[in-house]
Amino acid sequence: MLVAKATAPLRFSFNGYEFKLKRKEKLLFADDVFALLPKNIQSQFEKAHSVLPPFYNGEDLNGKTVLLFAQAAIGDAICMTPALREVKRRYPDSQVWVAISGKARPVLEGLPYIDKLLPHPTPLKEVNKVDYIVKAVEMVGKPQFNYQNMIQYFLWKFHLDFAEKETPDVVVDEEVKKELEEVFAKIREVAKDKKILLFHYLSSSIHRTLPPKFLKSIEDLIWDEYAPVICSLPEEDITVEVALDVYGIRAANLSSFMKDLRYLIAAVSLSDAVITADTATVHIAAALEKPTVLISGAIDPELRCSTYPTVIPVRPNYRGKTCVSPCMIHALPNPCNEALEKKQFYAPCLESIPPIVVYQALKDAELLVRNSFETKSCPICENKTSYEKLEVMNSHLLVRCNSCGLEFFTKAKDSKINENLSSLVIDPDKSPIIQTLAKLVKFFNKEKEVLVCPDDGFSEELANTLSGIKKVSLEEFTDSEEKFELIVNLNTLDSTEEPLEVLKIFYSKLEDSGILLTTTLSYSAFPYQVKGFKKYLWWKPCYPPRGLVRWKPTTLFFALKRAGFSQVKVFTSPVSTVDIGENLSVRKVEVQYQGKPVTMIDVSGVTAIVVDTLKFLPLNSKELGAYCCGIGIKGNLNFDWEKLISRIISLVAIDYTWGKD
């Protein structure tokens, strides 16, 4: 921030405001905002030294005035509102002032918890009236901003850990809404029973804009159910009409009606659902509680909508020559490097998203709003009352049992899952788990062994590795009267609604001192620990219709004990270096010598260095692998299981990571 003093009387228009200054009058600028002044105006100022009010550090604000000094794009301004509302709720006797750009000011006008709106730059005489300043300028590019959810960022700035409500507020101009109601009524009349879907596919940067071809593919999928409309702002309108004509997009273009931001807000309020690549639109839609899909490639969409209960984010699964999605680049003046590498205009990561995923996300967003799900008890501890709702995926609600910690999906009433999603699934690397299981089976050396598993490539690979172990389906196994010394089970517990009953069947089919060796996918695996368990990882196998229960070592341990096993050991397969590399999204590293940058390393170089550095992880990690492994003993076996498991994990990791030589 800097204080600038007028060297002569000044009158000028800037940043959405009219300024009339006397000689020696001072303004407070963000540094980058001052740099935007026309040179002839800049020359009429000189930098001045002034003592500003202190930065806010969490003090009691009752009876005090606090100024949020911001510049802010429209989306940023909307994201301020939960923090400003929470400040007023906690400190009702405070005064909350905001300095903001003229472009973003309309979204804050009329909110009851803002006592005064000031221009940016801000007259210093106004700044000096406040008790504290909260600085929210020059944010983009700083890690504190880049890697926090937008709502959380402004809460953090006010030293608030959470807010009572973490969705934003917007004010719908009723006069503008009445003006648009006639247009929307005509669309509903023509569309008959269809719902109105607002598309906002343009973004402030081309690498975050949805390709029109992609938009056309989505439109074809939703056409029987939705009447799509496009409501772009005036500065975007010229590009919209061309794109619609070239790609044959049938959506009604209402952009000519969007005179300013108030009209976009009103259009969202009149729509039934929203698909957007524009973050300002997603914040507006969240405030109005509209079922919404946010599509983002460059920026992880969780950072924009994780506190919004009516929004589902969709992200690419993309690894290119120059980047890994999300690249975390906020703005570019031209197409991204990956697009230039492929000699195209739009970001390839966005083009990689299957349109069917966006369609299913839209249906799930509608379920979020309706909240019509079947209720059932926890399949392990049978708790019926205490759940935490996590997300909706493929017409199922994911909940976490607050009693035992198990995460499981409960089906929406009358849901229809699109089975085409199953073809998108990419399994984790199987090599470490197959080698681990093979070593354990060889060590146990039992005569009466059986492999119980689905009929898929994974089980075939393991059966071949185990040199002819008898392989049966769960149905065949259940109908058999035979008992076994060793039962090996692959991933059955992920895809059943009654995992405890399945474990009890395994227990009943074991001889005394028999061993069950079972595997599940693990959501405590390295990728999820590093990045957090992201919504809409549609390329992962842990979602319906394939995955119905999510396991981690603690919940698998509890389930095995509940099934009757007297001795239980749970661990994971070794961490795969593939998983390490696929979850790195480093763009570049600036190498410095004596405080000066000397070279830049691209993403492929950084990934190779980091993966090689982290290769020690598989040697000693027993909880970060992609698969949970459970050993259940029926009866009692005196053995040092901990030593055996640690040794096998270490040996498999060495073989897998570096090989025998």
Question: pLDDT-based confidence at 582, cuts 50/70/90?
Answer: low
pLDDT at 459: 80
CA–CA dist 51, 397 (Å, integer): 54
Q: What is the pLDDT of residues 1-15, one digit of tens each?
A: 999 999 999 999 999
| Beta-carbon-side half-sphere exposure of residue 553 (alpha carbons within 13 Å) | 16
Q: What is the pLDDT of residues 398-418, one digit of tens each?
A: 889 999 999 998 887 766 666
Strands 45-48 and 132-136: unpaired
Which residues, 6 or more positions from 35, have their beta carbon under 8 angstroms from its beta carbon?
none
pLDDT at 607: 66
In eight-state DSSP terms, residue 227 is E
CA–CA dist 280, 74 (Å, integer): 6
Q: Please say if the pLDDT value at position 580 is more than 80.
A: no
Rg (CA), the chain: 29
Domain residue extents for the chain: 1-164, 174-366, 373-422, 431-658
pLDDT at 410: 86
Fold of 1-164: Rossmann fold (3.40.50)
pLDDT at 598: 61
Q: Any bridge partners for residue 119, and if so which?
A: 100
Read off the pLDDT of each residue in 115-136 and give the average, rounded to a whole number.
Answer: 97
Q: Which of 44-48, 259-263, 572-576 has the highest mean pLDDT?
A: 44-48
Strands 65-70 and 132-136: parallel
How many CB atoms are closer than 10 A to CB 371?
A: 11
Q: What is the pLDDT of residues 445-471, one digit of tens each?
A: 999 999 998 877 778 888 888 878 889
CA–CA dist 420, 418 (Å, integer): 5
DSSP SS3 for 503: helix
| pLDDT averaged over every residue in the chain | 88
pLDDT at 414: 67
Read off the pLDDT of each residue in 263-287 and give the average, rounded to a whole number.
Answer: 95
CA–CA dist 342, 324 (Å, integer): 15
pLDDT at 585: 55
Q: What percentage of the chain carries pLDDT values higher than 70?
A: 91
Fold of 174-366: Rossmann fold (3.40.50)
CA–CA dist 495, 521 (Å, integer): 10
Domains 1-164 and 174-366 share a fold: yes
Fold of 431-658: Rossmann fold (3.40.50)
Nearest to 261 by CA among 200, 329, 344, 192: 200
Q: Please say if the pLDDT value at position 583 is more than 90.
A: no
pLDDT at 533: 46
- Check if the beta carbon of residue 208 is closer than 8 Å to that of residue 178: no
CA–CA dist 396, 545 (Å, integer): 9
| DSSP line for 98-128 | EEE-TTTGGGTTT-TT--EEEESSEEHHHHT
pTM (two decimals): 0.87
